[in-house]
Structure 1
Amino acid sequence: MYVWDPSENYILRDGSIESRLETLGASFGAELFEFNHKYMNQLGLSLPNVLYLDRTKSSYPFDFAMVEDVGNVDLPKYIQCHPESKKDVFEKLNEMLTKMHSHKIDKYGQLNKVAEILNQSSPLEEVILENSLQDLEYLSENVTSIRKNKDRLTEVLYSLYDAVPPRKEYGMIHGELGPDHVFVRQNGQPVLIDIEGVKFFDIEYEHSFMKFRFNDDYDYLRYENLDAHRMRFYKLHLHMSYTSGPLRVVQQGDFPDIEFMRDITKYNLKSTLSFLLE
């Protein structure tokens, strides 16, 4: 069962996030889930079937959906139980991602909004730069090690941005694809979950994220011909984003698993600062 209760979305509580959603795209809500599910189904991607979806709030004060039970076994758990199937499962996942990433258009943004866009004056990498600078400003105000190195990190960020060549073609990405966002059916077929953030974007964004989320298993999903400059630029952006976002949640103080958020913050803070050693 999926539940979209705004009171439990700790990221959206921070008002400063709203402007970012207009450019990077939202990743929460039944409307997005419904649209993305239909769109992705038409491409033949493997998803849990939707049995019932209610956006009326007539029964509960939130939107919800009943979806197919695909076994509640995520990718790491499945591989732990079926190590002999690891290569086959990753090949199927890679095939699905290839289909997604190869589905391209000349605009970036949410699946349900790109058709309305007539002109995008700002290149995607410029939007990412602006968001990264916002993250850096916030972090410099709240993290001593970032404050001490703000100027150097700004220089590194601009250097990586300047190296990114122009592009006007974008593939479909999941947006936050880690091992925990892939479930596996009993027959070994991987299934994508948490699809609200699916959008058209640089596929290097997805690969930069997958590279540190899948660790050594990323080799099963590695692509040739990715733009190395974009990979580096997005890697720094993502580490700063995943430092500032969880830190904001930690500062709210009422997240159920606060230590988990602290661990995410610490890991990404360390990864952000590592760019100063290269």
Structure 2
Amino acid sequence: MPPTRRQLTRDDLAPLARAATGRALTDVTRLRGGTRKGVYRLVLDAGTTVVAYVWSPDEDYWDAAPADPRDPFSAGSGVEVFTAAHDRLVTAGVRTPRLLHADTTGNAVVVEDMRGGSLEEALERDPAAGWAALQRLAGELATLHAQEGPAFGKVGLVGSGGTSSSPSAARRITEGALRHIEQAAVRDERIAGVRGELEATVRRLAAAVRPRERHTLIHGELGPDHVLLDDRGRPALIDIDSLMYFDAEWEHVFLRIRFRERYDVLRAPAGTLDEDRMRLYRLAMHLSLVAGPLRLIEGGFPDPVGMREIAEANLVRVLELVRR
């Protein structure tokens, strides 16, 4: 049975609201958010709103083992990871909601509330405005990817002089893909039926990837739901916990999956991406989007139908790629 999880109440969040804003808290709404943290809109007595991110075991649907801080894909998240990512984006000139308060004791932060909705909603609600925001996002993405780091890993770790425990970014993706095959195979018989073929394909694609020393700043999970708009329609990146120095190909594989036909607006200039990496990372990403959602369902995620749909859509792509 999935674990019982407790959501925070107004009484729980009132001290955080007071510390962040000096105002009394009048109402709380839990927002759709990440799988590792709770996201709450706080309504203050002045009628204004802010947003709180709270990290706790009750908010983590992965129920993961303790994180390896040297692994850029580790489950590690929280105030320090978030603030390091926020500060790096601000330094780079990439818009993200302003950080108003960080509470290391309570493992929570309070940020600016952006009320323009998500880019995903805007593209459906008002295609013209959504398209303009998408074009602005392309500029933000170019600024983000112009930043480079001395090693690959989460920005807080690299910024403090640390390095990843894996020998290369491509090797880390290969290890993850093989692990995701194993995890998915015990949860879906279709993956189990082609497990050997999948593992051989991952190893073959990995063998074609040439070494690289360049490490690009990427968001890591940049879909249209991870972009909010301000009251002037300008985009800001959210769910920034995965911000890292890595291969730009990993970002573009995810962008292509999530933005579909609109990806052309965000496409990298011709010749800047390595096609061998793209082939490996494409299969690895789809495998991750099968294994991850299937695990989340077991952890009691509140939208199991949505997670099942994500897993199924990506499973179909995995089977298509392995049969080519």
On whether the aligned pair clears a TM of 0.5, the verdict is: yes
Counterpart in 2 of 1:60?
none
Query: Hey, what's the Cα distance between the residues in 1 that align with 2:306 and 2:130?
Result: 27
Report deviation, 1:171: 0.5
SS of 1:183 mapped into structure 2: strand
Relative contact order (alpha carbons < 8 A, sep ≥ 6): 1 or 2 greater? Answer: 1
Q: Are 1:196 and 2:241 matched, yes or no?
A: yes
Counterpart in 1 of 2:92?
43
Residue identity in the other structure for 2:92: L
Conserved 8 A contact 2:152-2:164: no
Alignment partner of 2:145 out of 101, 110, 116: 101
Query: Hey, what's the Cα distance between the residues in 2 that align with 1:257 and 1:5?
Result: 19
Report deviation, 1:134: 1.2
Report deviation, 1:39: 1.6
Query: Hey, what's the Cα distance between the residues in 2 that align with 1:152 and 1:200?
Result: 31
Structure 1 unaligned runs (5+)? 58-62
Residue identity in the other structure for 2:82: F
Return closer, same or farther for 1:119/1:129 CA change in 2, 3 Å cut-off. Answer: closer
Query: Hey, what's the Cα distance between the residues in 1 that align with 2:125 and 2:197?
Result: 46
Larger Cα-atom Rg: 2
Query: Hey, what's the Cα distance between the residues in 1 that align with 2:82 and 2:164?
Result: 25
Alignment partner of 2:179 out of 130, 134, 144: 134
Return closer, same or farther for 1:108/1:166 CA change in 2, 3 Å cut-off. Answer: same
Aligned residues: 270
| Aligned-pair Cα RMSD in Å | 2.0
Return closer, same or farther for 1:133/1:20 CA change in 2, 3 Å cut-off. Answer: farther
Query: Hey, what's the Cα distance between the residues in 1 that align with 2:99 and 2:164?
Result: 34
| TM, length-normalised to structure 2 | 0.78
Per-residue CA deviation, residues 24-69 of structure 1 (Å, 9 max, x unaligned), is: 2446212111111112111111111122222222xxxxx2222112
Per-residue CA deviation, residues 186-228 of structure 1 (Å, 9 max, x unaligned), is: 2121111111110000010000011011111101100122111
Return closer, same or farther for 1:81/1:260 CA change in 2, 3 Å cut-off. Answer: closer
Structure 2 unaligned runs (5+)? 1-50
4+ aligned runs moved over 3 Å, structure 1: 17-21, 118-121
Query: Hey, what's the Cα distance between the residues in 1 that align with 2:98 and 2:172?
Result: 34
| TM, length-normalised to structure 1 | 0.90
Conserved 8 A contact 1:27-1:198: no
Q: Are 1:187 and 2:219 matched, yes or no?
A: no
Return closer, same or farther for 1:134/1:199 CA change in 2, 3 Å cut-off. Answer: same
Q: Give the number of the structure whose residues are more often helix, by fraction.
A: 1
Bigger Cα displacement from structure 2, 25-34 vs 234-243: 25-34
- Percent of aligned pairs with the same residue? 33
Alignment partner of 1:3 out of 49, 54, 65: 54
